[in-house]
Chain A
Amino acid sequence: MEGSEIAMDVPAAAPETIDLRRELTETHAQEVLEELDRELVGLAPVKTRIKQIAALLAVDRVRLRLGLASETPALHMSFTGNPGTGKTTVALKMAAILHKLGYVRKGHLVSVTRDDLVGQYIGHTAPKTKEILKKAMGGVLFIDEAYYLYRQENERDYGQEAIEILLQAMENQRDDLVVIVAGYASRMDQFFQSNPGFRSRIAHHIDFPDYTDAELMAIAAGMMAARNYRFSAAGKDAFESYIAARRQQPHFANARSIRNALDRARLRHANRHFEQAGPVSRDDLMTIDAPDVLASHVFDLDQADGRPD
């Protein structure tokens, strides 16, 4: 009896070894990580970083149980990358992962842009920003195109006020709220340069790389499958050449361009079958063929400037 009482005082006297993998599975964070792996094509550096964060949080949980000092890590993040590289999608998943690991209590995502935070007249900004912060508490606040908050050319812009309130909340409400800022890489760099406080309060800077042609093709296949469509062999070849051609043109937005291209291909597909005489089969309605893709303006080299897609 006495021996065990003495042992109670030493926190490390709990079980000797701990299975960290099981910790991750038990919290169901593993499921979300696997879902992330399965549903998102490419994005290797992003996935690695998210796994690292998940590992740190899992280890911290165990340490807390063993009575070892564990300080809540600052988890504010910045996602930079070109349009359509999956920043918002990953942010949504991030909220779920953090919730499963017990880092945020509710795990909802509040997605805002400049006009949700910045007011129109003096004294309007602070209550507006605070309102959003209150809504996001217990979850993740996702600020899309965060650089619009700061307008260099206008020193009286109210954006500065919103930034100050955000910074204060990021510091003081670290346990209640995770802030993720996102935007295009070059403009985010500029934004961080003019707001050094922001940069230092964000622990994780994650860069989203552009997709390769093969990855975009995989994304297209996934989108098609989700809507019960598929490519014919010729259609597949046509779409591959479409991706290569589209990439050379202005306003290329990675996965978003692919989604738009598929939508238009479906449009032409429907039209083609409508104009054809005679009945159509179930198979016809599911198969996107080469002409549906090749009719795109992208292949029209003369018009490659103003009208993409």
Chain B
Amino acid sequence: MRITQGCFSFLPDLTDDQIRTQVQYCIDKGFAVNIEFTDDPHPRNTFWDMWDLPMFDIKDAAAVMLELTACRKAHAGRRYIRISGFDASPGWESVRISFLVDRPTEEPGFRLNRREGPGRALRYTTESYAADRPEGQRY
């Protein structure tokens, strides 16, 4: 099951040139760009690992692409990788844009759990099949 998360996720995967253009847009807007990765695909998982440092004071997307290449070298095919742009202009850091740039080769998808509640109530929750295995061995 192809996971859709963040911007552009209903489009085909972005090519490197498209990623570069998006990143350059973020930089021109004054956002701090960073690269994050995770192997827990749950939509409510907000704690992704950060690759390298957040990139402040960068003028050109080439620098981000360089780090993305390095991150892919380490994690491609086994982790989700996303790029986020943080805008600090309101006085606090807020995510303005966030999109996936790499995903595991195989995405097993989610299981739907039904739990009986009091009366005839049903509680639903989803769980990734990948998350059955321990962290680091999921993909």
What residues make up the interface of A, taking CB atoms closer than 8 Å to B?
105-106, 108, 127, 131, 133-135, 137-139, 173, 175-177
Contact assessment for A138 and B62 in the assembled complex, using a CB-CB cutoff below 8 Å: yes
Task: For the complex formed, measure the closest distance between the CB of A238 and the CB atoms of chain B, giving whole angstroms.
Answer: 47
Across-interface contacts of A127 in B (CB, < 8 A):
53
Contact assessment for A135 and B59 in the assembled complex, using a CB-CB cutoff below 8 Å: yes
Provide the bound-state CA to CA distance between A206 and B78, in Å: 49
Interface residues on B, range: 10 to 19
Provide the bound-state CA to CA distance between A108 and B55, in Å: 17
In the complex, B58 has a CB within 8 A of chain A: yes
Q: Which of B51-73 contact A (CB under 8 A)?
A: 53, 55, 57-63, 66-67
Contact assessment for B57 and A135 in the assembled complex, using a CB-CB cutoff below 8 Å: yes
Inter-chain pairs besides A108-B59, A134-B58, A137-B58, 6 sampled, C-beta below 8 Å = A127-B53, A134-B63, A135-B63, A137-B66, A138-B60, A138-B63
Provide the bound-state CA to CA distance between A137 and B33, in Å: 15
Provide the bound-state CA to CA distance between A127 and B67, in Å: 12
Task: For the complex formed, measure the closest distance between the CB of B103 and the CB atoms of chain A, giving whole angstroms.
Answer: 25
Would you give 30 A-B contacts (Cβ < 8 Å), ordered by A? A105-B60, A105-B62, A106-B59, A106-B60, A108-B59, A131-B53, A133-B63, A134-B55, A134-B58, A134-B63, A134-B66, A134-B67, A135-B57, A135-B58, A135-B63, A137-B58, A137-B59, A137-B60, A137-B62, A137-B63, A137-B66, A138-B59, A138-B60, A138-B62, A139-B59, A173-B66, A175-B62, A176-B60, A176-B62, A177-B62
Task: For the complex formed, measure the closest distance between the CB of B110 and the CB atoms of chain A, giving whole angstroms.
Answer: 37
Provide the bound-state CA to CA distance between A137 and B67, in Å: 12
Task: For the complex formed, measure the closest distance between the CB of A117 and the CB atoms of chain B, giving whole angstroms.
Answer: 16
Task: For the complex formed, measure the closest distance between the CB of A25 and the CB atoms of chain B, giving whole angstroms.
Answer: 26
Provide the bound-state CA to CA distance between A108 and B57, in Å: 12
Provide the bound-state CA to CA distance between A159 and B52, in Å: 22
Task: For the complex formed, measure the closest distance between the CB of B113 and the CB atoms of chain A, giving whole angstroms.
Answer: 43
Closest chain B residue, CB of each to CB of A175: B62
Across-interface contacts of A133 in B (CB, < 8 A):
63
B53, B58, B63 interface centre (most CB from chain A within 10 Å)? B63
